[in-house]
Amino acid sequence: MEWQASPDEYEKLVIRMNTPRVVIDNTVCATATLVKVDSARRDVILLEAVQVLTDLDLSIRKAYISSDGCWFMNVFHVTDRYGQKLTDKRVIAYIERSLGTEEDDFTAGSRDIEAFTTLELVGTDRPGLLSEIFAVLANLGCSIVEAKLWAYKGSIAGLLFVEEEDSGLPIEDSDKIRHIQARLGYVVRGSTTALSSSSASYVFRGTNADRRIHQLMFADRDYERAVASGEPSVSVQNWTERGYSIVNVQCSDRPKLLFDVLCTITDMGYVIFHGTIDTTGDHAYQEFYMRHSDGSPICSEAERQRVVQCLQAAIERRASEGLRLELCSADPLTVAEATRTFRENGLTVTRAEMSTKGETAVNVFYVTDAGGHLPGRKTIEAVIERFGDDSLKACEDRPLRTGKMKSGSDRDEPSSGSGGLLRLGSLVMRNLSNLGLIRSS
């Protein structure tokens, strides 16, 4: 009797045959670790790979992206937060394990945690708003376990993961949830205000939460309120013969820059087929060959302008201006007290991130004065004195890298600033060479 594979067995065989192949190489480049990923083509696989690397706080200094039919090939030149090669075997093993799996629901970089009540917040920003939000939650007996809030161009958006202060359990009382929504809705005034809440056994953390904030601000159309400028520089043009739209991005380099750009491109419904990313000093160059998910390029001037505006907004949202303040405390009420102290001293919070490690809450705030400039020394000293320099510290944001780029295998000439059309053949050949699939001449 002839054996026939069942549909489930056939599907498992196809998955095993198409499992991504991950190679991590520390010998090719003198200044960075190469992470090579080959896999069957999926529209979001590039974003997923970049998400794993940014979850680990790694810097992507260079990248080559190329697809050949149903196959996708990527190579990333990465360093740790200090600008060094990856040497921690646990980090390398985690990358291999995370990128070497094929899953429908991507969860690398996240972890299952006890259920929290999740609040999504979108509204109009104003001085003292953050202080009022935390004061309301504290007054209602809500403990903030983790939070991310961004302010950009007069808007504020964020995710807050809260629990009952007394029991440490998620808030399941529907009447109390509606009461929280009503109180916060009154505080976050404005026609764009929107709040939602839910209890779930799994919540997105880290860059997953970042992507959700991008989506909330994009839905709020914050990009329409941005003032046109030359920085960051974004250009879009079509390569009609090959049916691609070519996007060029030039701006100052910073952590998670590539992730922010890819989030917006993906959420706008575009698919990247080829691309090159390069950093020279503190400047980043990115070039992408992309199409709509239906296979068509950008087809109108209005659409082209919208892509430019959305990418500029995606880059600027996280690039918070201001002084970084770090607050560590085991008392959840300290956060509300800190934001109130900032307001009383004329400081504006442009971005805030809160998390809990054991019994200690770790909070990061970026603050400016009322005019949007770096606050004065006397003001910061007064705020620090209020909490003590053991709890509240002012610090510079970490540098993008510690050493200068060396010439050699880690350097290619960046693409032209005007975004001129590159010949796809040479682009693919160069990417194949960097992926190690052919020898470089």
**Same domain for 43 and 103?**
yes
In a domain, 176, yes or no: yes
Instruction: Please tell me whether residues 347 and 334 are part of one structural domain.
Output: yes
Residues 333 and 378 in one domain: yes
Check whether 332 has a pLDDT greater than 90.
no
Contact 284, 257 (CB under 8 A): yes
Whether residue 180 sits in one domain with residue 150: yes
Over the stretch 410-419, which tens digit does the pLDDT of each residue have? 444 444 444 4
Show the tokens assigned to 92.
């390398």
Is 81 in the same domain as 97? yes
Helical segments of 20-88, H only: 45-55
On whether both 254 and 338 belong to a single domain, the answer is no
E strands, 178-261, in order: 194-200, 233-239, 244-252
- For residues 288 and 424, is the Cβ–Cβ distance under 8 A? no
**Is residue 212 domain-shared with residue 332, that is, in the same domain?**
yes
Q: Is residue 421 part of a domain?
A: yes
Which tokens hold the place of 155?
A: 């808007």
What one-letter code names the amino acid at 235? S
Neighbours of 165 (CB within 10 A): 15
**Percentage with pLDDT > 90 across the chain:** 34
Overall average pLDDT of the 268-291 stretch = 94
pLDDT per residue over 78-103, tens digit each?
Answer: 999 889 999 999 999 999 988 876 44
| Structural domain contains residue 366 | yes
Same domain, yes or no: 386 and 267: no
What is the value of pTM for the model shown?
0.80
Residue 153 confidence class, pLDDT cut points 50, 70, 90: confident
CA distances from 237 to 171, 210, 399 (A): 50, 28, 33
28 within domain boundaries: yes
Q: What is the pLDDT of residue 197?
A: 56
Which domain does 156 fall in, by range? Answer: 116-223+320-395
Verify that 379 and 418 share a domain, yes or no. Answer: no
CATH assignment of the domain containing 198: 3.30.70.260
Following DSSP, what letter does each residue of 313-373 receive, concatenated?
A: HHHHHH---SEEEEEEES-THHHHHHHHHHHHTT-EEEEEEEEEETTEEEEEEEEE-TTSS
Give me the number of domains the chain comprises. Answer: 2
Domain co-membership, 415 together with 286: yes
> Using one digit for the tens of pLDDT, what is the confidence trace for 157-215?
989 888 888 887 888 888 888 888 888 888 887 544 445 555 433 344 444 889 999 99
- Helix (H) or strand (E) segment spanning residue 156: strand 155-164
Q: CA of 133: how far to CAs of 149, 172, 181, 360, in Å?
A: 11, 20, 11, 21
Residue 137 located in a structural domain: yes
Residue 47 is part of a domain; what is its CATH number?
3.40.1020
**Would 405 be classed as within a structural domain?**
no
Residues 154 and 194 in one domain: yes
Contact between 89 and 406 under an 8 Å Cβ cutoff? The reply is: no
pLDDT at 266: 94
| Residues 133-145: tens digit of each pLDDT | 888 888 888 888 8
Residues 129 and 214 in one domain: yes
For 212-270, write each residue's pLDDT tens digit.
999 999 988 888 886 666 678 999 999 989 999 999 999 999 889 999 999 999 999 99
Is 7 part of a structural domain of the chain?
no
Q: What is the pLDDT of residues 287-312, one digit of tens each?
A: 999 999 899 999 999 999 999 999 99
Residue 54 lies in a domain: yes
What are residue 364's DSSP bridge partners? 326, 353
